[in-house]
Chains A and B, each alone.
Chain A
Amino acid sequence: MKAWVWSSLLIVCLGASLPLQRWLDAQRGSAAALEESLYLSSGKMLKRMSLGFDGLLADLYWLRTIQYFGGKLQRMRGSINVNDVSSWRLDLLEPLLEITTELDPHYIAAYRFGALFLPDLNPENAIRFLQRGIHHNPDDWRLYQDLGYIYWKQGRFREASETYEQGSHLPGAPRWMRPMSAIMLVKGGERETAREVFQRIYEHSEDTYTRQISLARLKWLQAEDEIALLHRLMAAFRERQGGCPASLAGLIRSLPASSVGRLRQAGLRFDENGAPLDPDGFAYAYDAKTCTVALAEASTIVRWKF
């Protein structure tokens, strides 16, 4: 047979295998690879079986974790319900991080990634996970910051304060760790404290995903603040005019220029018609019947539900 026959066969068969492979991928799904990696679920056992390649194995597990969950984070839009583990397979996150840190107990990035998500799934396990991290890495102030964050999230402000205090004495710990300890005690439950916590995490994280999550939460907090502010302005308008404004732009136009200037200074942005925009640049949704303001359906601000 001529060479062109074989060449054509080679090209046609390889070409035809591509759509078939796509179909096969669609049938089996991407979580399969992740589940396969949990086939051996004990990090200690894996460590013994790794024949000295435990560091490399830890890297592999970390890469799988970050590729899968990182990919999900990059695509996240709209409403995030961390309790809905079925779509994200967040149930796989804890064992994957456990294995990674059992293979290499000094994998700081894994502890930090876990600190951001695990508290929403199982706070006690998250605390144990971070405490184990601190046990193996007692000189890393970032783990104290993360453990303090988890305590704060649980409303355990005294423990959060103590953890920030302990971390503040470590070499390399930033100055804000000590005042943060005091803030936790005095006004732990306030939104301002939440902003402070996420701002610090954002500033002191090296990995993109942690920064992305912190930034998303900061934006959400800002949007919540702005909505609260607009509702206050709305209440004042109703008191003055006896009804709701026709639009948010109308509400803003009714304010004196000095007040609008102050709003701008506080970070609120407006479109060309004067309607207020959320931190991602989408106009806030407004219901003139009920006088309520909310994030627009199309807004890319992530709504966190816990």
Chain B
Amino acid sequence: MKVVPIALNTFRESVRDRVLYNLLLFVLLLVGAAIFIGELSLAQETRIIVDIGLSAMRLFGVLIAIFIGIGLVYKEIDKRTIYSLLAKPIHRYQFILGKYFGLCFTLLVNTAVMVVAIVLALLYIKWGLDAIQLKVLPAAYLIFLELMVVTAVALLFSSFSSPALSALFAFSLFIIGSFSADLKLFAETIGSRFVGAFCHALYYLLPNLANFNYIAETARGQLVPGKMLIAATAYAALYITALLAATVLIFQRRNFK
């Protein structure tokens, strides 16, 4: 399988680019929150640690997914390494899938370390084991799924656009995807049938990132229901496949001569 070496190489590249340095900042943030905010929050320290931890995990992850994702294809073209790569018996779709899974692996390592840091911070706050330390895991898993979707979005744009524009498009889509509930509400309440249908179409066409956001519920001590985890996983799988298919279609038509 030629996808695996490309993926591993992409992972090594991101480690060399010091992407994982963000973990240091994350750990510092959590330690600071655990020590200082706990004192100020009137017995709400668990909630605040979960909130800060998962929100920072999402924010850092999205920044990595977008800023590294948009350069995945562009860098190879810019440095002309794509010529030597595609001269080998590698299909273009293998190249795209390898790049995608390489960055996902980087994000997986990043997210896993962050989860460990959150659990340790919660252990410190609670002075022992508590259900909340386990409840964080499904929420973190959903964040990872969201990051996989965002990575696929960034990769799609990077397959045909410049890094600056790709970043702009990917960020816009991330913001729209996060506010998709408003889009639906708007579609349901607007008087014009045409605008309503258009908004409904947009709602179902654009990625609905709210499906992966259970930060507030987890912070309140609720566990993500199993059926929601399964549905969100299925949604992510379908959407990522669609995005990767679109990326491959575009990339296969590109002329590098």
Binding site for B on A (CB under 8 A): 1, 3, 6-7, 9-10, 13-14, 16-18, 20-21, 23-25, 27-28, 30, 32-33, 36, 39, 63-64, 67-68, 70-71, 74
Contacts and interface: CB of A to CB of B under 8 A. Distances in A.
B204 A17 contact: yes
22 contacts: A3-B249, A6-B248, A6-B252, A7-B245, A9-B241, A9-B242, A10-B249, A13-B238, A13-B245, A17-B204, A17-B239, A18-B204, A20-B231, A25-B184, A27-B227, A28-B210, A32-B181, A33-B181, A33-B185, A67-B182, A70-B189, A74-B189
Which 7 residue pairs across A and B have the least CB separation, nearest first?
Answer: A33-B181, A13-B242, A71-B189, A9-B245, A10-B245, A6-B245, A13-B238
B228 A24 contact: yes
Given A3-B252, A18-B204, A67-B186, A30 B242 contact: no
A24 B211 contact: yes
Contact of A7 (B227, B239, B249): B249
B164 interface: no
B247 to A, nearest CB: 9
Interface string B215-257: 0100000000101100110110011011001101100100000
B131 interface: no
B208 interface: yes
Given A10-B242, A20-B235, A27-B228, A1 B93 contact: yes
A7 B250 CA distance: 11
A259 to B, nearest CB: 43
Contacts of B234: 20
Nearest to A4: B249
Contacts of A70: 189
Contacts of A20: 231, 234-235, 238
Contacts of B189: 67-68, 70-71, 74
A24 B204 contact: no
Nearest to A29: B181
Contacts of B203: 21
Contacts of B210: 28, 32-33
A219 to B, nearest CB: 21
Given A36-B216, A39-B216, A64 B185 contact: yes
Interface of B: 91, 93, 181-182, 184-186, 188-189, 203-205, 208, 210-211, 216, 225, 227-228, 231-232, 234-235, 238-239, 241-242, 245-246, 248-249, 252
B182 to A, nearest CB: 6
A217 to B, nearest CB: 22
Contacts of B241: 9, 13
Given A17-B204, A27-B225, A27-B231, 13 more contacts: A14-B238, A17-B242, A20-B235, A21-B208, A23-B231, A24-B231, A25-B184, A30-B181, A33-B182, A39-B216, A64-B182, A67-B185, A67-B186
Contact of A16 (B182, B205, B227, B238): B238
B185 A1 contact: no
A24 B235 contact: yes
A27 B246 CA distance: 29
A21 B204 contact: yes
A185 B148 CA distance: 67
B231 A71 contact: no
Nearest to B91: A1
A64 B186 CA distance: 9
Contact of A68 (B185, B228, B246, B252): B185
Contact of B185 (A14, A24, A71): A71
Nearest to A30: B185
B228 A36 contact: no
Nearest to B191: A208
Contact of A21 (B186, B235, B242, B248): B235
Contact of B239 (A1, A13, A23, A36): A13
Contacts of B248: 1, 6
A16 B189 CA distance: 26
A63 B232 CA distance: 28
A9 B241 CA distance: 7
A169 B185 CA distance: 41
Nearest to A25: B184
B50 to A, nearest CB: 14
A28 B185 CA distance: 13
A301 B104 CA distance: 57
A9 B181 CA distance: 26
A21 B187 CA distance: 15
A16 B216 CA distance: 28
Contacts of B185: 30, 33, 64, 67-68, 71
A239 to B, nearest CB: 51
A69 to B, nearest CB: 10
